[in-house]
Amino acid sequence: MEFVVVTGMSGAGKSCAIDALEDIGFFCVDNLLPELIEPFYQLSKTSEKERIAVVTDVRGGTLFAGLNDTLRRMEEAGNAFHLIFLDADDEILLRRYKETRRKHPLLDMFGGSVEEAVKFEREILDTVKSRADYLIDTTNLSPQELKSRLTSMFLNAAGGLLFTRVVSFGFKLGAPREADLILDVRCLPNPYYVPELQEKTGLDREVSDYVYSFEESREVLKKYLDLLDYMLPLFVKEGKSQLVIAVGCTGGHHRSVAFAEKIGEHLREGSWKVSVAHRDIRK
């Protein structure tokens, strides 16, 4: 049985996540109290359901505080499960509540202040977030992109296989908060200063050829690939389920994109389960 617990910040996309999991064959239960997760897990083992996902969050009120204890007991009992934590920037969460006109579950505790409710929710979720197998930052993800990412993670996934996500980004727009490893390629020659390449991206052959025409670029790529070849099996040995590798240049259009593509290609050749995304390529 594959059992997934979905939690995270209110407004970060848990409903979208549970819809995506249901679409790929999970039996899903929304808004399950933490104290009911363990008995539900045991009951599920006697059913014919092979893939099950539950959502639990602060809608459970004071009972939600027991989630950490529930997860700890399940781990100590050897009950296998994955924990997905969905997050987003506070500014984005506030904007989503304003646009949808939905009520934050903790709103009444703070006299109608969504900002204070979000701040408090983040504090009480901090420990749960730190133990997540999959941390997904939806700040820059559309609902369809979130669904696509979850589908890539869990559709036909082999049990225990490390899912690796390679994402390019621009340092001037901030590094991805979910990154486990950050690779910096700002030290390499920049295609931006070549007039005919300025409006193109690292997905264009001309830009990629320019980047790798320099010996230092080829050498940096080789050393990064050697590092990843050595480290990924160590992450698997540790029991990690998801690894996010962020590759950054100045703007996220040229060098980081070219490197992310090469890294993704290399990992696929090594039979790793991997997806590649370019966060800032259109910004």
Q: Could you state, in order of their start, the residue ranges of all structural domains in the chain?
A: 2-154, 163-278
pLDDT in tens, 168-194: 999 999 999 889 999 999 999 999 999
pLDDT exceeds cutoff 60 at 8 = yes
Torsion of CA 243, 274, 146, 138, to 10 degrees: 30
pLDDT-derived band at 158, boundaries 50, 70, 90 = very low
pLDDT in tens, 233-242: 888 877 677 8
According to DSSP, residue 110 is labeled G
State the Cα–Cα distance between residues 227 and 210, nearest whole angstrom: 24
Q: Which CATH number fits domain 2-154: 3.40.50.261, 3.40.640.10, 3.40.50.300, 1.10.30.50?
A: 3.40.50.300
> What pLDDT was estimated at residue 246?
98
State the Cα–Cα distance between residues 144 and 277, nearest whole angstrom: 14
Percent over 90 (pLDDT), the chain:
65
State the Cα–Cα distance between residues 281 and 184, nearest whole angstrom: 16
Percent over 70 (pLDDT), the chain:
96
pLDDT in tens, 244-279: 999 999 999 999 999 999 999 999 998 888 999 999
Q: Choose among 49, 58, 277: nearest CA to 146.
A: 277
> What pLDDT was estimated at residue 161?
62
> What pLDDT was estimated at residue 157?
54
State the Cα–Cα distance between residues 104 and 16, nearest whole angstrom: 17
Question: Rounded mean pLDDT of the chain?
Answer: 91
Q: For 217, phi and psi rounded to 5 degrees?
A: -65, -45
pLDDT exceeds cutoff 60 at 129 = yes
pTM: 0.67
pLDDT exceeds cutoff 90 at 64 = no
> What pLDDT was estimated at residue 61?
74
